[in-house]
Amino acid sequence: MHARRSLAATATAALLLTTAAAGTAAASPAPDSPAPASAEAPGRYLVAGPDTAEERTEIAATGAAVDEVNEDSVVVTAAPGQADAVAGLGHEVTPLPGPGQDGPGALDFPPSDSDYHDYAELTDVVDKTVADHPDIAAKVSVGSSHEGRDLMAVKITSDVATDHDRPEVLFTHSQHAREHLTVEMAVYLLGMLTDDYGTDPRVTEMVDTREIWILPNLNPDGAEHDISDGSYKSWRKNRQPNQGSWSVGTDLNRNWDYNWGCCGGSSSSPSSQTYRGASPESAPEVRQVADFVRSRVVGGEQQITAAIDFHTYGELILWPYGYTYDETGPGMSRDEYDTHAELGRLMAGSNGYTPQQSSDLYITDGTINDWLWGEQRIFNYTFEMYPSSHWGGGFYPGDEIIPRETSRNREAVLDLLGYADCPYRVIDKEDEYC
């Protein structure tokens, strides 16, 4: 998830290599060298006790990633040392079982979860969608991942070859590698917005009056790594090496260039699941998606007016800001906050998620949620999809829930599209702002 239910799993403890020369400067490990045997692999833990956003923020400050927030407990992914630090805050920490596997040697999802789409299968879906609907769907590349995989985008609108003066809406998926259900959400949206065009009046109206951008996987390297040997790794970050450290990866959703690293809502340690990277947009995936969003500024005006970033899990709808507990303040007026909140509540009315400000969970910084609003003035939301808790499958619910849990967001997505021409209409202030 973005701030709460998503985290990276496997990150090894940081180990600095030093040269034997005078001055002992830190050096990067050889790219193909294995991690040292002493490296501590992270695990998942139930932490009993914390019941306020401030307490949850203290837990996140240890470098643990908060996956799930309950009334008086959280679930975290943490290295053993980080789990000890959480216990040192006075909370009861209990290890949880790890994700399952169907056996060694597999190079894909376990057979029991074969309905999930890996990167090659997702590419086939995108290519077929575009081939079957050439008048309303077009494939665009916004860049490539650290390992060279295409960061695909699909533009959906009538007369798709034309750059219309229409409100644009952005849907992003899979910033965090282990959140595979979000890719299925993208697959569902691709089908809904193309196959239902011409037969469903509401879908048809939205495709005729909006330009819709679907980026189905922002972290393909991490997602492929998470399923690479038939055993889910609970991997969160991308696969970019970190200079001077055995720990691999940056948390993409702490790497955005708005209040990056400002407020204790991310970690400076490469071994942390919430490592924010060496600098804002240091992750190539973040930099190139941000460049794409910036490219939609035409004549000084951002054409994208609304967005959803899909994550798992928790069944939540979150809106900015995450970096502060305040509802209003720098960059957020009362009407802007009320518009976010009212539209969030409207969407929650159809999918049954809990609507709230992001920082009601705990403080985060450098997130796409805050960047889209703070830098680009795009009304936007994080959707934390099914399940509501670790006990419902956590990051790895069985593939049988895919149709139910993706279609569950149909009305919410159509609501966002419907208000994209003037989000302030949801608080009856279109005459003032639109």
Helix (H) or strand (E) holding 226: helix 220-226
**CA distance readout (Å), 313 to 34, 91, 382, 396:** 32, 23, 11, 9
DSSP 163-210: --SS-EEEEEE-SSTT-THHHHHHHHHHHHHHHTTTTSHHHHHHHHH-
**Residue 156 burial (C-beta neighbours within 10 Å; 0-12, 13-18, 19+):** buried
Choose, from 179, 281, 336, 384, the residue flagged as catalytic. 384
256 and 279 Cβ atoms separated by less than 8 Å = no
Q: Round to the nearest angstrom and report the end-to-end CA distance of the chain.
A: 33
CA distance linking residue 186 with residue 180, whole number of Å: 10
Q: Which residue has the tokens 């936007």?
A: 380
Question: Residue 384 catalytic?
Answer: yes
CB atoms within 10 A of CB 189: 23
Q: Which residue has the tokens 């879908």?
A: 203
Q: Which of the 8 DSSP states describes residue 261?
A: T
User: Cis omega before residue 386 (within 30°)?
Assistant: no
Residues with a known catalytic role: 384
